[in-house]
Structure 1
């Protein structure tokens, strides 16, 4: 990588590089300049009106294509990647590098029997609570409420769950954020996962159980990229089932006006209030 690329990437993602590789081992990625094909279709990288790079999976890994870049991620015999781009500076910007990094994170988590979940991660009493839901369900809204009450936010957009040596799932800070931005820049610690909540905006505040089939389907819906990979589908299903045995998903009906203390009480967290 050039000095300019290293500078931009270290500015944005430097805090995510641990002093010691305590969570996962390093994954090698090569970065190269290359001529890319020109596509005139403005909807080529669009899904549900959102920018979505194309992925083409195969038995050994996958190819990724988006604005200004192409990539190859090989999963076996070893996990490594290759990233190509025409523009040196564009390659280091979020529209390229972060989309590539999110794809790597999703597959790296699955390789280690973990999950990369589209979710809000909120720390309460040194435990991580993951709030999942459709786009616009309230992940960022809930994160803002929690932040105002002094809670640590792992991310309001995507979180990585990995098992420890005993198989218990933990979540830690990741360099990905939604509308809330990067509000937890000094975090390094992992937290045991205490709960998974599916968000439903409603006219009431209550937490309820979900049937197992709905738990599985909703968790899978929040696993970007890997949930459309036919070659890794069986493994993904197995990992999700294992997670839900430890931490069943419930549904949280809430209003945007509900205080965060009331939400904590609804999900079973004791507070001083």
Structure 2
């Protein structure tokens, strides 16, 4: 068996060269739905497991992830893992402790790789209903998991309750499932599926369900605020804003006011 595990997410391929047997088995199991064979990855990353590795001093608060661009190089650091990737040439190195895993690094990597091909990693719930994709985006606590839970109860396909990729596709936009979990639906499957986006919805709590129009500038700002790992650097931030403008020009973006029951689908259906 090859040491290289090749993942394809939203059409973007990354190869992980892993010689550590335990980590290789974990990655193959966790990301099984997204593993492809006999391809040519856009980026090849050698993964080295190092006992006792520590990269960021422990501190209180949210889990620390440090990431920035140095020219063509993506730099990533967290408590137990660190990496650099030459985005232009498509190769890099990830070092991590045995108690760590590759997931946070992959999130950062795919957020950056996506920008190069018109794709945005977005904090959003993704739902496929009647072959159409619906993307509900917002900050933590905005209701993404609630939306996803109602969708699953109704028999719709849930791509995620926390992260999806939205990607330009000619004059339209597609939403893709990703293998990352981070929301509250820990039992949700990692669905390798995509659909053409019918609507993008900025979430807002309200006493009754309704849709409100968003000015294009507001829609762009709301989308960009939900793009993780790519807004700290000015060059990446400019790319995000341009991409969000393109998305808004292709797909309706509305504010969805909802009161945490499944009746919000009625107002979406009525809008067509």
TM range (shorter): 0.7 to 0.9
Asked if 1:82 corresponds to 2:99, the answer is: no
Structure 2: 5+ residue stretches without partners: 1-17
Structure 1: 5+ residue stretches without partners: 44-48
Match of 2:64 in 1: 52
Asked if 1:233 corresponds to 2:234, the answer is: no
Q: In the superposition, relative to structure 1, how do residues 146 and 3 fare at CA in structure 2: closer, same or farther (>3 Å)?
A: same
SS of residue matched to 2:31: helix
The one of 192, 210, 214 equivalent to 1:210 is 214
Aligned residues: 252
1:117-174 Cα distance to aligned partner (Å, 9 max, x none)? 010001111111000111101100111011001010001010012233x242211221
The one of 72, 79, 90 equivalent to 2:84 is 72
Q: Is the 8 A contact 1:74 1:80 kept in 2?
A: yes
SS of residue matched to 2:142: coil
Asked if 1:181 corresponds to 2:210, the answer is: no
Q: In the superposition, relative to structure 1, how do residues 57 and 208 fare at CA in structure 2: closer, same or farther (>3 Å)?
A: same
The one of 20, 28, 31 equivalent to 2:47 is 31
Q: Is the 8 A contact 2:165 2:178 kept in 1?
A: yes
Asked if 1:145 corresponds to 2:161, the answer is: no
Q: In the superposition, relative to structure 1, how do residues 84 and 40 fare at CA in structure 2: closer, same or farther (>3 Å)?
A: closer
Q: Distance in 1 between matches of 2:78 and 2:257?
A: 36
Q: In the superposition, relative to structure 1, how do residues 206 and 191 fare at CA in structure 2: closer, same or farther (>3 Å)?
A: same
Q: Distance in 2 between matches of 1:264 and 1:52?
A: 37
TM-score by length of 2: 0.85
SS of residue matched to 2:235: coil
Q: Distance in 2 between matches of 1:17 and 1:41?
A: 33
Whose strand fraction is larger, Structure 1's or Structure 2's?
A: 2
Q: Is the 8 A contact 1:171 1:190 kept in 2?
A: yes
